[in-house]
């Protein structure tokens, strides 16, 4: 039996992952471009913000900000008709416009409201966002490759992440370093299909990626709506990525020789004299980021635990919520689910 997803209360953050069936390499350059286009259109349509992402050959990672639906302003007809072309063809938009016009001519406010509600319920909803993303990508890929059937390997995984800078930046760095860990690039900014890579480009896409990464900096989290200077955001986030993704030579601490990372010379050039004490484990594939259920401070995890226990989703034998992740210095970060098997991937360089 499927367990309901951990959604949280108010504005929430989620690390979502989905893989292609049989883990086949399906997403090449053109497919990744189409995927990103669909992703950005859904972001604008639903109000679910993509803070960062990484599109790989057979899977993807997203760090999503899901808004508090109670605070979303209700759509009016004019706003709806303005965003419909993001996802629908001209004929469909014209049909909906005609339905609204007919309702207004007959002074049928209930009919007009029903039309708006069809689309309103899709806004600020994590499950609907992911469902539509996977469906639309499936339709595109199946048509392009002349295939039929299921594209995705079951349900998407999701991790509820505390809305604080340390938790969000740790998960964001883990996502943006995927191409480095997979030997696709030597530096994260060189991978086009990630939040950090896109932010280092130019144009409308870069601006949106920069806004996403800026939104999880402390200043923006404390004062929603704050617009941060990209140069400042980039420097801070770049330090995080480079210190976390640095390549280490084989020695007593790093055996056997690790996978390629960011060269020490590049790190020293970029960091200047700045250091950030982050767990070296972030450079590995870490199951806590996908299967830990809830990640954040002890207080945040404990609140989620009490809520789940009240709902009957946690048995009476378990008395405490927050668990300290195994295998490294995680600082103040805690998880809900204590993992024991295949928690970490191979050692880093």
Secondary structure of 264-310 as H, E, C letters: HHHHHHHHCCCCCCCCHHHHCCECHHHHCCEEECHHHHHHHHHHHHH
Buried b (16+ CB within 10 A) or exposed e, 170-203: bbbbbbbbbbbbeeebbbbbebbbbbbbbbbeee
**Pairwise CA distance, residues 119 & 1, whole Å:** 30
pLDDT digits (tens, 9 = 90+) for 139-182: 999 999 888 888 999 889 999 999 999 899 999 999 999 999 88
- Whether the per-residue pLDDT at 199 is higher than 90: the answer is yes
Residue 5 inside a domain? The answer is no
Residue 62 shares a structural domain with residue 77: no
The dihedral region occupied by 8, where left means phi > 0, alpha psi between -120 and 50, and beta the remainder, is left
Residue 112 dihedral angles phi and psi, to the nearest 5°: -65, -40
- Whether the per-residue pLDDT at 1 is higher than 50: the answer is no
Specify the higher pLDDT residue, 323 or 14. Answer: 14
Residue 105 shares a structural domain with residue 226: no
pLDDT value of residue 347: 45
Q: How many residues does the chain have?
A: 349
Tell me the average pLDDT of the chain: 84
- Whether the per-residue pLDDT at 253 is higher than 70: the answer is no
**Pairwise CA distance, residues 202 & 236, whole Å:** 19
Please choose, from the candidates 53, 47, 5, 16, the residue with its C-alpha nearest in 3D space to the C-alpha of residue 32: 53
Please choose, from the candidates 51, 8, 81, the residue with its C-alpha nearest in 3D space to the C-alpha of residue 169: 51
Residue 348 inside a domain? The answer is no
The dihedral region occupied by 22, where left means phi > 0, alpha psi between -120 and 50, and beta the remainder, is left
- Whether the per-residue pLDDT at 215 is higher than 70: the answer is yes
pLDDT value of residue 267: 67
Among 102-116, 181-195, 246-260, the minimum mean pLDDT is found in: 246-260
- Whether the per-residue pLDDT at 4 is higher than 90: the answer is no
- Residue 66: Cβ-neighbour burial (10 angstroms; 0-12, 13-18, 19+): buried
Residue 100 shares a structural domain with residue 24: no
The radius of gyration of the chain's CA atoms, rounded to the nearest angstrom, is: 22
> Is the Cβ–Cβ distance between 179 and 185 less than 8 Å?
yes
Q: What is the CATH number of the domain that holds 37?
A: 3.30.70.1290
pLDDT value of residue 216: 93
Residue 144 inside a domain? The answer is no
Residue 315 shares a structural domain with residue 207: yes
Give every CB contact of residue 110 below 8 A, 6+ residues apart in sequence: none
Residue 228 shares a structural domain with residue 328: yes
H/E segment holding residue 173: helix 165-176
Can you give the pTM of this predicted structure? Answer: 0.78
Specify the higher pLDDT residue, 161 or 292. Answer: 161
Residue 159 dihedral angles phi and psi, to the nearest 5°: -120, 125
H/E segment holding residue 126: helix 126-145
pLDDT digits (tens, 9 = 90+) for 81-96: 999 999 899 999 999 9
pLDDT value of residue 139: 94
DSSP 3-state of 155: coil
Q: Count structural domains, the chain.
A: 2
Residue 81 shares a structural domain with residue 218: no
**Pairwise CA distance, residues 211 & 317, whole Å:** 44
Give 149's strand partners: none
Specify the higher pLDDT residue, 241 or 42. Answer: 42
Give every CB contact of residue 249 below 8 A, 6+ residues apart in sequence: 257, 349
**Pairwise CA distance, residues 51 & 33, whole Å:** 18
Residue 185 shares a structural domain with residue 108: no
Give 334's strand partners: 296
**Pairwise CA distance, residues 348 & 178, whole Å:** 13
What pLDDT band is residue 20 in, cutting at 50, 70 and 90?
Answer: very high
What pLDDT band is residue 276 in, cutting at 50, 70 and 90?
Answer: very low
Domain of 78 in residue numbering reads as 73-120
Residue 101 shares a structural domain with residue 164: no
DSSP 3-state of 180: helix
Residue 1 inside a domain? The answer is no
Residue 97 shares a structural domain with residue 16: no
What pLDDT band is residue 325 in, cutting at 50, 70 and 90?
Answer: confident
Residue 267 shares a structural domain with residue 298: yes
Give 20's strand partners: 152
Residue 82 shares a structural domain with residue 176: no
Residue 114 shares a structural domain with residue 209: no
Residue 249 inside a domain? The answer is yes
């Amino acid at each position: 039996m499927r367990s309901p997803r951990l959604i949280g209360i108010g504005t929430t953050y989620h690390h979502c992952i989905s893989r292609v069936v049989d883990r086949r390499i399906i997403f090449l350059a053109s497919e990744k471009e189409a995927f990103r286009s669909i992703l950005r259109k859904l972001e604008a349509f639903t109000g679910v913000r993509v803070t960062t992402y990484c599109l790989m050959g057979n899977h993807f990672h997203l760090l999503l900000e899901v808004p508090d639906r109670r605070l979303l302003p209700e759509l009016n007809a004019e706003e709806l008709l303005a965003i419909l072309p993001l996802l629908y063809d001209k004929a469909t938009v014209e049909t909906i416009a005609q339905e609204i016009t007919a309702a207004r001519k007959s002074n049928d406010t209930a009919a007009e409201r029903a039309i708006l509600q069809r689309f309103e319920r899709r806004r600020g909803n994590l499950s609907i966002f992911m469902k539509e993303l996977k469906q639309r990508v499936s339709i595109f890929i199946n048509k392009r490759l002349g295939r039929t059937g299921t594209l995705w390997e079951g349900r998407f995984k999701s991790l509820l992440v505390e809305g604080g800078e340390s938790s969000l930046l740790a998960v964001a760095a883990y996502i943006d370093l995927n191409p480095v860990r997979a030997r696709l690039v030597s530096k994260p900014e060189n991978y086009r299909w990630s939040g950090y890579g896109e932010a280092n480009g130019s144009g409308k896409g870069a601006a949106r990626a920069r806004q996403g990464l800026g939104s999880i900096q402390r200043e923006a989290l404390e004062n929603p709506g704050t617009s941060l200077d990209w140069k400042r955001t980039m420097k801070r986030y770049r330090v995080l990525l480079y210190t976390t993704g640095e390549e280490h030579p084989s020695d007593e601490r790093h055996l056997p020789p690790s996978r390629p990372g960011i060269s020490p010379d590049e790190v020293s050039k970029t960091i200047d004299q700045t250091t950030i004490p982050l767990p070296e484990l972030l450079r590995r594939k870490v199951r806590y980021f996908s299967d830990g259920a809830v990640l954040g401070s002890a207080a945040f995890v404990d609140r989620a635990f009490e809520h789940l226990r009240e709902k009957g989703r946690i048995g009476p034998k378990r008395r405490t919520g927050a668990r300290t992740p195994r295998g490294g210095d995680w600082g103040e970060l805690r998880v809900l689910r204590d993992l024991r098997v295949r928690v970490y991937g191979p050692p880093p360089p």
